[in-house]
Structure 1
C-alpha cells in the first residue's frame, strides 16, 4: 500500500496549479502565430463568444430556442456572393422564428494574403463573421422591440455544436424538399420564400440543417425574381439593423479624414471609448499601435451620410476578363442593382426606383454597351462623376469629395486621381490611401463597402455583387434611391 505525506502532496498540487496558471497566461499573452503570418482575430473570436446568446442561461430557457444552419451556403464563393446569401438566409431564419447560424468566411476565391505553405499545401484564411458585420447576421440585436426568446439572435457555428448535438439535429434533403414544396426554376420569388417559411415554421425540431444546399442558390441570386422578396426583406431587421463590425469602425475612425472636408469630421458613432494611459506612446490610433476593438461599437449603416462625399466602386483586376464574359453572355445587372430597369419599374411600381439601368444606346450592340457599363475607362469615370455632381445640385447636394474603392494598379489609380483633381474635386482619395492594420486588411473590401454605404452619393458597377450589397444596405438604411447610380 502506497503512502504519501499530506504536506508534500499539497505543495505538489499548488506547484502544478501555479504552473498551469502561468502556462495559460503565457498562451494568452503569446498567441500561436500562423505560419503564413495570417491574422488570428483572437479579439474578435472573444467578442463572438461573449455574445449574450452564447451562454448557458440561453440554453435552458423555455421554450427552447430554434436555429437554422446552412453549411453549404455559397460554398467556394467570393466574399460578396457569400455575404448576399448570408443576409438573405438570416431573413429566412428570422421569418421562421429561428436563429441563423453564422460561420467563418474561408477566403479561398480571392485570398487577401498568400495562403500556400512552402510544402505546397494551401491554407486559406478563415475570417470570423464579426470581422465583417456585427449586425443581426453576426449575432447582433434584431431590434429592441423583439422578444429574443421567440425570435432568437443568430449564433455561431461553435455555439451550434454545443446546443445542437448530432442526435438532435434534423437534416433536410434539399432535392427532396424542393419536390415536396413544388419549387422549380419557374416558381416566383415570393412563392419560393413563402413555401420555405411555411416549411421551417411548422417544424418543431429546434435544430434544422440542409447539408446539401440552400433555399436560395447562386442562380436565384442573379435572377430578377429575387426582387419580389424586397417588400418583406427591405424592412427586415436583418437590413434595417445592419451594423459594420467594431473592426471596421476602428478602420473608419483612423481614416475618416480621407472622406470629408469637414474640420471636425469624426461622427460620434466612430469615436473610441479608449483613453490611453499617460505613459503609453501617443500613436495608439495608428496601424502600429491601434486602439483595441473592444473600445469601438458596431457602426450602424443607417448613420447619417458623409456630407459632400461621392463614393465610387471601380472594379479592376480580374474584371478585365470577367466583364468580357458577362458582356458576351448577355448578362444583366446583379440582383438589387436591377431596381432601375424599366421592365422592373413597370412590373413592380412600389419597389425602389433607381435612376440607372443597363441601357443600350442606338447603334451600339448589347455586348459593347454591357462592357462599357462594366469596365468604364478613366475618362468616362470622371465624366460620369461630373454629370452626377451637376445633377445633384438641384436636390441641394454639393458634392466636393471623391472616394474611389478600387483594386486597380497603383499607376492607373494615380492617373485617375490626377484627372479628378484636374476636374475640380477638392478632395480625392482611394482604397490605396487607407492605413489599415493586418486584420483590417483582411476585410479591406468591407471597409470600402462601409464608405460606399455611408457616402451621400454612390456610383457602382451594375454587374457586381459588391455594388449590389451596397445598394441593399443603402436603401434599407434610409438612403434615397436617387443617390445611387451605376456606370
Structure 2
C-alpha cells in the first residue's frame, strides 16, 4: 500500500503504523545531511582569474577568456574521490615543443594509471614573444595557459566516446590541483628512488618504463600524487632511441587521437585561411558558429576578433586541406644549433626517428619514408648539417621532388627566417610553378594569437595534405605524431 502524500500546507493525520518508519527516515536523512555538511567539498571552487599587475603594466595578453574556459571545465568541480598525478618539473626551462613532448607522454601515463594529469601554464623563458622586462629591470615572463595552445585531453578536453571518466579522470589545471589537493593530502613520489624501485635503468625500453610507472601510480591508494625530481620521460630520455618503443601504446591513445588545437588557434587559422588554401571559405571545422558571433562592423578582424566561444577546438583528425604543401623552415638560432647537432652526431628528434631503417624493419611503427642519410664521399657532419640547414637550392629541389605525382598547388612556409630570405624563397617557388606561396610572415594575428604563433603555424603543418619538416626539430616531431594520430599517411610526412 503506497504511503499517503503529506501536505506542507495543512496538518494531516498520520496512521500510527507509519510513525516509526517516518521517524527512522527523518533520523537517517538528518544524519546524512549532517555527514554531507561535515564532508561536502562545496567550498572547493576556483575564483575568477585576476591578471597580475605586471601583466597589465607590460601590455601582455591576459588570456582571461582562456582562463575562464579552463575554470569552467566540468572536472573542475567537487568530486567524491579524485585521483590525480602532478609532474611539477616537466622539462623546465626549455622551448615549448620540448615541454609539450613531455606533457603529452605524461598525459598518456596518467591515463594508463587511471589518474587525472595536472596541466600547467607554459612560461615563456626562452624566445619570449613580447618584451618582458619592466623599466626597473625586473623580468616577468609571460604565462600562457594550456588552453591557449591545446584543448585536447592534455588541456582537460574529453578522452572521447567510450572512455569512462570515472576510471580515466580528465586532466585538471594546476589551479584546481591547488584547491582539491591541499598540501596535507599530497603524497610525494621521488623520481630517482622510484626508478630504482621499479628496476628501470638506462637499458630499459621506453615501453618497460611506461608500463612499470603506470602500474606503480595505478596501485597507489593516495588521491593526490606529486612526482618530484623530474618525470619518467625527461628531455634526455625523449632524445634517445628508447622512446620509440612507446609508440605501440601511445600512437593509438586518446591523448593523440583526440588531440585538438585550442579555440584561440582555431580562430587564428580561420581568419588566415586564404593564405594556405585557394578555396572560397574555411571548412566547417574552421568556421565560426554564426549564432555566437557579434555583428559589430569589423568583427572577425585582427583588431576585433570573434570571441573564442564562436569556435570549436580544431581536431587533428579533421580532413587535410587539399592541395597544400606545408614546409617547416627553421632558421634563426638554428644557424648555430645545426652545427652543434651535426658536431654531436645527433640523430633525428623523437618520432622523426621512425623513418630509420632499424625501426622500419620491425614492422611495429609507421613507416616514415625519410631518415638521416649520408651519401658516398660525404661526412656525417656535412650530411647532418645539410638536412638541418637546407640551402635555398636544396629547398626548391626537395619541394619539386615531393610534389611529383601529387596534385599540390599551394605552399605555406612556417619559418622564423629573415623577411628578405623568406621573400627570396617564396619568389623561387612561385617561379617553379606554384599557384600560391605564403609564410608565417603573412599571418595577421591578434596579440594573444601572436603569443602562440608557433602553435598556429603547427596547426597549418598538421592540416596540410603533405608536410616537409626538419628531422632534428621537436616542432617537426610533434607535427609528425599529430599527423599520424590524425590519420595522415606516413608517406605524407617528409624531411629535408
Q: After TM superposition, is the score higher than 0.5?
A: yes
Displacement of 1:211: 2.3
Q: Paired residue for 1:49, among 46, 71, 95?
A: 71
Structure 2 CA distance for aligned equivalents of residues 193 and 447 of structure 1: 30
C-alpha offsets along residues 41-84 of structure 1, whole Å, 9 cap, x if unaligned? 0000000000010123xx23xxx121110000111110000000
Q: Paired residue for 1:116, among 120, 133, 140?
A: 133
Number of the residue aligned with 1:309: 324
Displacement of 1:32: 8.6
C-alpha offsets along residues 9-39 of structure 1, whole Å, 9 cap, x if unaligned? xxxxxxxxxxxxxxx99x999x996211110
In the alignment, structure 1 residue 433 sits paired with structure 2 residue 433: no
In the alignment, structure 1 residue 164 sits paired with structure 2 residue 187: no
Number of the residue aligned with 1:273: 289
Displacement of 1:180: 0.7
Structure 1 CA distance for aligned equivalents of residues 228 and 57 of structure 2: 31
Asked whether the equivalents of residues 406 and 431 of structure 1 are also in contact (C-alpha less than 8 Å), the reply is yes
Which structure has the larger Rg over C-alpha atoms?
Answer: 2
In the alignment, structure 1 residue 384 sits paired with structure 2 residue 398: yes
1:336-347 matches, within 5 Å, as 336-346=351-361
Number of the residue aligned with 2:117: 100
Displacement of 1:240: 0.1
Structure 2 CA distance for aligned equivalents of residues 128 and 308 of structure 1: 33
C-alpha offsets along residues 199-243 of structure 1, whole Å, 9 cap, x if unaligned? 111111111011221111111101111110111100000000000
Structure 1 CA distance for aligned equivalents of residues 237 and 70 of structure 2: 31
SS state at 2:228 partner: coil
Displacement of 1:106: 0.1
Number of the residue aligned with 2:247: 230
TM-score (norm 2): 0.88
Displacement of 1:173: 1.1
C-alpha offsets along residues 453-478 of structure 1, whole Å, 9 cap, x if unaligned? 00000000000000000000000100
Asked whether the equivalents of residues 274 and 291 of structure 1 are also in contact (C-alpha less than 8 Å), the reply is no
Number of the residue aligned with 2:266: 249
Asked whether the equivalents of residues 135 and 141 of structure 1 are also in contact (C-alpha less than 8 Å), the reply is yes
C-alpha offsets along residues 226-261 of structure 1, whole Å, 9 cap, x if unaligned? 110111100000000000000000000000011112
Asked whether the equivalents of residues 187 and 226 of structure 2 are also in contact (C-alpha less than 8 Å), the reply is yes
Structure 2 CA distance for aligned equivalents of residues 53 and 246 of structure 1: 19
Number of the residue aligned with 1:86: 103
SS state at 2:56 partner: coil
Structure 2 CA distance for aligned equivalents of residues 167 and 258 of structure 1: 53
Displacement of 1:378: 1.4
Structure 1 CA distance for aligned equivalents of residues 274 and 403 of structure 2: 21
Structure 2 CA distance for aligned equivalents of residues 240 and 167 of structure 1: 36
C-alpha offsets along residues 375-423 of structure 1, whole Å, 9 cap, x if unaligned? 0011211110000001xx2xxx300000000000011101111001010
In the alignment, structure 1 residue 371 sits paired with structure 2 residue 393: no
Number of the residue aligned with 1:11: none
Asked whether the equivalents of residues 65 and 150 of structure 1 are also in contact (C-alpha less than 8 Å), the reply is no
Number of the residue aligned with 1:474: 483
Structure 2 CA distance for aligned equivalents of residues 369 and 363 of structure 1: 10
Structure 2 CA distance for aligned equivalents of residues 378 and 41 of structure 1: 38
Displacement of 1:371: 0.1
In the alignment, structure 1 residue 213 sits paired with structure 2 residue 230: yes
In the alignment, structure 1 residue 295 sits paired with structure 2 residue 310: yes
Number of the residue aligned with 2:201: 184
Asked whether the equivalents of residues 331 and 417 of structure 2 are also in contact (C-alpha less than 8 Å), the reply is yes
SS state at 1:172 partner: strand
1:13-32 matches, within 5 Å, as none
In the alignment, structure 1 residue 34 sits paired with structure 2 residue 56: yes
Asked whether the equivalents of residues 65 and 149 of structure 1 are also in contact (C-alpha less than 8 Å), the reply is no
Asked whether the equivalents of residues 54 and 140 of structure 2 are also in contact (C-alpha less than 8 Å), the reply is no
C-alpha offsets along residues 276-321 of structure 1, whole Å, 9 cap, x if unaligned? 555x21x211111100011111110100000000000000010000
Asked whether the equivalents of residues 100 and 153 of structure 1 are also in contact (C-alpha less than 8 Å), the reply is yes
Number of the residue aligned with 2:337: 322
Asked whether the equivalents of residues 327 and 468 of structure 2 are also in contact (C-alpha less than 8 Å), the reply is yes
CA RMSD of aligned residues (A): 1.8
C-alpha offsets along residues 433-456 of structure 1, whole Å, 9 cap, x if unaligned? 000000000000000001000000
Structure 1 CA distance for aligned equivalents of residues 269 and 208 of structure 2: 40
Q: Paired residue for 2:411, among 394, 402, 413?
A: 402
Structure 2 CA distance for aligned equivalents of residues 309 and 271 of structure 1: 19
Number of the residue aligned with 1:357: 371
Number of the residue aligned with 1:136: 153
SS state at 2:347 partner: coil
Structure 2 CA distance for aligned equivalents of residues 28 and 182 of structure 1: 45
Asked whether the equivalents of residues 294 and 306 of structure 2 are also in contact (C-alpha less than 8 Å), the reply is no
Displacement of 1:350: 2.2
